[in-house]
Amino acid sequence: MEMSVGLSSSVKGGGVLKLSLCPLAFSRFNPSPPSSTSKFLFRFSSRFWLYSCCKTKNKNGDDRKELLFTDKKKSYSKKLTGRRLISKMTDSEVKAATSGSTAGKMIFQPILEDGVFRFDCSANDREAVYPSLSFINNKSRDVPVMSNKTPSYIPSFECRLGQQIVKLEFPAGTSFYGTGEVSGQLERTGKRVFTWNTDAWGYGPETTSLYQSHPWVLAVLPNGEALGILADTTRRCEIDLRTECRIQFISLPSFPVITFGPFSSPTAVLVSLSHAIGTVFMPPKWSLGYHQCRWSYDSQERVLEISRKFREKGIPCDERFPDPKSLVKDLHNIAGFIGSQRYAATWTGDNLSNWEHLQMSISMMLQLGLSGQPLSGPDIGGFAGNATPQLFGRWLGFGAMFPFCRGHSETGTIDHEPWSFGKEFFLFVS
């Protein structure tokens, strides 16, 4: 790559060069030419340079801008007159400069505790990221700790077409789990999802975005060790696990990637994750029992009638309504992001009354637990559609083991209280 530079004979020492503004590839951090007062960190020929900008006159008396570049890693003294400077760059650097793309291995620093590392595309990216909503304390993510360990796996990155693409390669035989609130099978190997909170009524096994966003993957290695990977961004993020033994995150820049481990087991990874994002709050005892809910028990009289029926039939129902007059509609759990387990339980969304969704509700609850959100559960019996006695009975049997155990259905469906299904229901739960 050739660059024209005008170098003043008065420039000496301090690692400073004075260059006339010419067409050059500014990095993605600042795609526009600099203003007369701006400063910014510029990466060129594998070094970082800090520039400032000033106005001068050319030989014809016209205004021109000059850039003052300071080598941040090396100081030297040169006395040069105006001439052409040929800067030799590798093929990859030329390609990056001409295509607006940058790529390479991410830089890292140890954070939080032994075995936890933060990765960024560059030092400038490290300063440019948004505060974390997932970490309990931003300092835990942003302030390095003393450690003599180095990461076992270092992500590579590419910045292309306004997107930050991060890839992490693993040994053959690695399997992937986690990815938060997702439908489908427990193992996520071969899947792709998007963290983009979506009200996905009646979702199916191939739905790619649901109510919560967990840009998190739990990798189980062939030797039994496990590694957790968090893309710490609240923006729309693609998690692509379709290529064998590779994790790929794609989102808007800049975002850091945090790795936890490898540790001896998935449990050890989740313990370390909890040190970063926190644990679930201690819920009141009554909240761990059965909840009966519907969209909508729309009157005080109906609520009291349902409550009396539970007592009369001796069916445990631990949820209580301290002020039935205020219960005018069903209140869903809020949609959230990884870290929201510190504040609320969650449910697996507006599911369907069928056997496929019964099966999916088990893997979905486990996926949330493997992503740091253990207090969760489905709408038992299915939210949309009419459950049969057998379906509701089987689902309630599984539901008794769920941390958040709630029967819930939408308006316009048949009654879904346990006794509504008659004697046949009790045959399946006894």
Angle (CA) 344-281-202 rounded to 5° is 30
Residues of the chain with CATH 2.60.40.1760: 102-179+214-277
What contacts 311, CB < 8 A, 6 or more positions away? none
Pairing relation of β-strands 379-380 and 376-377? unpaired
DSSP string, 296-330: T--SHHHHHHHHHHHHHTT-------S-GGG--S-
Q: Look up the CATH number of domain 102-179+214-277.
A: 2.60.40.1760
The answer to whether residues 404 and 281 touch, using CB atoms and an 8 Å cutoff, is: no
Q: Which of 8-12, 176-180, 418-422 has the lowest mean pLDDT?
A: 8-12
Span 315-351, pLDDT tens digits: 888 765 445 455 445 546 556 899 999 998 999 999 9
CA–CA separation, 387 vs 416, rounded Å?
8
Q: Is the pLDDT of residue 314 over 70?
A: yes
DSSP string, 256-268: -EEEEEEESSHHH
Which burial class, exposed, middle or buried, applies to 220 when counting CB atoms under 10 A from its CB (0-12, 13-18, 19+)?
Answer: buried
DSSP string, 14-65: TTEEEEE--S----TT--SPP-TT-EEEEEETTEEEEEEEEEEE-TTS-EEE
- DSSP SS3 for 75: coil
Q: What is the mean pLDDT of residues 164-177?
A: 98
What contacts 214, CB < 8 A, 6 or more positions away? 178, 179, 180, 181, 195, 337, 338, 368, 371, 372, 373
Q: Is the pLDDT of residue 201 over 50?
A: yes
Q: DSSP label at 274?
A: H
pLDDT of res. 430: 62
Distance between alpha carbon 60 and the CA centroid of its chain, in Å? Answer: 55
Span 21-39, pLDDT tens digits: 333 333 333 334 444 444 4
pLDDT of res. 62: 58
Residue 186 gets the label, from left (phi > 0), alpha (psi -120 to 50) or beta, of alpha
Residues of the chain with CATH 3.20.20.80: 285-429
CA–CA separation, 117 vs 115, rounded Å?
7
Q: Report the share of the chain in percent with pLDDT over 70.
A: 72
Omega of the bond leading into 36 within 30 degrees of 0 (cis): no
Average pLDDT, the chain: 79
> Residue 42 to residues 36, 48, 123, 414: CA-CA distances in angstroms?
16, 6, 11, 65
Q: Which of 66-80, 93-107, 162-176, 367-381 has the lowest mean pLDDT?
A: 66-80
Categorize the per-residue pLDDT at 58 as very low, low, confident or very high, splitting at 50, 70 and 90. Answer: low
Radius of gyration of the chain, Cα coordinates, nearest whole angstrom: 29
| CATH architecture for the domain at 285-429 | Alpha-Beta Barrel (3.20)
pLDDT of res. 404: 93
Pairing relation of β-strands 163-169 and 246-251? antiparallel
Residue 385 gets the label, from left (phi > 0), alpha (psi -120 to 50) or beta, of left
pLDDT of res. 298: 79
Q: Is the pLDDT of residue 11 over 50?
A: no
Q: Is the pLDDT of residue 390 over 70?
A: yes
Residue where the block lists tokens 């631990």: 318
CA–CA separation, 152 vs 364, rounded Å?
30
The H or E element that residue 229 is part of is strand 226-231
Q: Is the pLDDT of residue 68 over 60?
A: no
pLDDT of res. 86: 26
